[in-house]
A and B are shown apart, each in its own frame.
Chain A
Amino acid sequence: MTRMSAIDELFEKTRAENRAVLVGYLPAGFPDVKTSIAAIEAMVSAGVDLVEVGLPYSDPVMDGPVIQAAADQALSNGIRTTDVLEVARASAATGAPTVVMTYWNPVERFGVERFAAELAAAGGAGLITPDLVPDEAAEWIAASEQHGLDRVFLVAPSSTDARLALTADASSGFIYAAAVMGVTGAREQTSSLAPTLVERVRAVTSTPVGVGLGVSNGEQAHEVATFADAVIVGSALVKALHTGGIDGVATLAAELRAGVER
């Protein structure tokens, strides 16, 4: 822990404001590259603090139907990895720390070192890696050190204490706690497993913990904000973009932002 990253600074700021960080996910290129950038700008203006830019992938095993469909559409429009980096650049230009959320193969194919270099050059803050665990991440750990990027690994209700410690150790910026055993997608109720998981992570690290999977409205965001350092919203924003366009995203983001104020 030498230098503060943009994400570290964000958490320091929100701690001072006594609120949780609001993290918003949108896939690059859905419904097209231009609109995805406009939607990210709108959600940041409406109060999203940290942006996750999704890299659409052909085999998204962690994703439910909403994000799968968005990725499919982006891919059939011909989205490329280089386009995703451009969306990340535009997102970072809003001033919100921006991470790319990606399955591992596209990064490996691009070249881990090259991906890290180009993401850093675009102003990106790090990566969230839903199918890369620290055990397999030696190359990414080296590249992220080299380029000053944060590494957001996931923990889950099934993680053992030993794995929580190992994962926390390898993570920086924040830790992504998957609130439920399952894939992405809005859920009616917030998870009863999440508070316990956050508590277990806190027992092994001082790195902030974000909670995602299933948060879809202001009320749920508020509930999660009472026990987590960050509230992560994905499918609900994608759905809002799909049904309500840019305005839909802005409206939901504002509602979520009101929710994370404690």
Chain B
Amino acid sequence: MPYEQPDATGHFGRFGGRFMPEALIAPLDELDRAWTEAKADPVFTAELDRMLREYANVPSPLYEATRFSEAVGARILLKREDLNHTGAHKIRNVLGQALLAKRIGKPRAIAETGAGQHGVASATACAYLDLECTVYMGEVDTERQALNVARMRMLGAEVVPVTTGSRTLKDAINEALRDWVASVDHTSYLFGTAAGPHPFPSMVRDLTRGIGDEARAQVLELTGSLPDAAVACVGGGSNAIGLFTAFVDDADVQLLGVEAGGDGFDTGRHAATITAGDVGVLHGARSYLLQDQDGQTIESHSISAGLDYPGVGPEHAHLAATGRARYVPATDADAMAAFDLLCKTEGIIPAIESAHALAGAQALAKELGPDATILVNLSGRGDKDVHTAAEWFGLIDGPVVLDEGVEE
């Protein structure tokens, strides 16, 4: 039987659903209807395809990473989402949601962001489609991703630093939801990952699945057969679900999600939600999450701001529970070693998020051996991470002055 999820009420097996204030239920129903209609409307899909092609540089190429393959001991094919406009897979999702916002006729958009990539993509799409844009970002993240804050402001977005809770991505989502509950009559929430209440997980999957659909055809064309494995990093899960969806019914293709292992998942300082979390409810859906004995959310830790989230999208919880996909952690150190290797062997600076997928592929190559073909989603480029990486590798002598008076 082909895989068909979620059910009509947004459940992927026992996961997903809608754990939201009643005030947002009717608007979520409306969004669900609007999306269902839009994706069946050839005028809408043609316009979205045109935007992706002409504006976002999609489809992204598949790239045979020969020297990296030699170094890790298996044939590694990279899906080059880093070459998309704004430098990550996120633009696919946001262009779709922003075009839907236009279609519904809501003039204002809000978004949350962790690393700033989804915020930048949102600010970009809003400039392009003439929408007013407010981005919520945890104060801690505004500091470690200062360049992206500047980028968003340059693009005309208002960036609101969130100072509540742990002042990171989860709190930015909380604050965006508080805004939305009060503004939903004229505001769309451009959700940045395949999590949240129904219909976000399946809508974001619909919008990112081009990654896997393209890559599946590209791999077939290049090699004549399907890859042995498809590997992606997992924060909330949008790039991973975008890659996996095309392969879910291909039983011989292993699906591997790589979570942020931080200092090591046994240290308690990590963001390996499926590996080390428990089932619960956060941000509108039942899934795995990092929580204490009383169900209070635990702060996550990762060198990668984009993976630094204590929850994960419900479809990944389902794929993990059914065994269709496997989820493993890569530590900060593993990811940075893979980051370094890709820089040195291929001349590609990956996003630190994507470096986690590379680390996962490296470990998998050891398991599968030299005859294996491993497809890796290179979800983004590393320009935004140059500062973090330079610090990690000790390449910066003095402090870097970003702003007058602000030392990093």
Contacts and interface: CB of A to CB of B under 8 A. Distances in A.
B296 A156 contact: no
A133 to B, nearest CB: 6
Interface stretch (B101-109, B180-188, B230-238, B389-397): B180-188
Contacts of B370: none
Interface in A128-175: 130-133, 135-136, 153-160, 163, 167
A153 B22 contact: yes
A57 interface: yes
Interface residues of B, number: 37
B19 interface: yes
B165 interface: yes
Interface string A11-48: 00000000000000000000000000000000000000
A75 B299 CA distance: 14
Contact of B20 (A107, A133, A180, A183): A133
A62 B181 contact: yes
B372 to A, nearest CB: 40
A167 B296 CA distance: 27
Given A64-B178, A109-B291, A75 B21 contact: no
Given A105-B291, A106-B295, A181 B174 contact: no
Interface string B285-306: 0000101011111000000000
A133 B26 contact: no
Interface string B270-284: 000000001011111
Interface in B236-295: 278, 280-284, 289, 291, 293-295
Interface string A44-62: 0000000000000111111
A68 B164 contact: yes
A131 B21 contact: yes
B27 interface: yes
B21 A110 contact: no
B178 A183 contact: yes
A60 B283 CA distance: 10
B397 to A, nearest CB: 39
Interface residues of A, number: 41
Contacts of B17: 135-136
B18 interface: yes
B25 A133 contact: yes
A45 B137 CA distance: 44
Interface in B21-60: 21-27, 29
A202 interface: no
Most buried by A among B18, B25, B26: B25
Given A59-B165, A108-B280, A135-B9, A156 B21 contact: yes
A72 interface: yes
Most buried by B among A75, A81, A158, A178: A158
Most buried by B among A62, A72, A130: A62
Contacts of A81: 294-295
Interface in A68-107: 68, 72, 75, 80-81, 104-107
B282 A59 contact: yes
A182 interface: yes
A104 B9 CA distance: 18
Given A61-B174, A109-B294, A181-B185, A155 B164 contact: no
B80 interface: no
Contacts of A61: 21, 174, 177-178, 181, 283
Interface of B: 9, 17-27, 29, 164-165, 170-171, 174, 177-178, 181-182, 184-185, 278, 280-284, 289, 291, 293-297
10 contacts: A59-B165, A62-B181, A72-B164, A105-B281, A108-B295, A156-B26, A160-B26, A163-B25, A163-B26, A178-B21
Interface of A: 57-62, 64-65, 68, 72, 75, 80-81, 104-110, 130-133, 135-136, 153-160, 163, 167, 178, 180-183
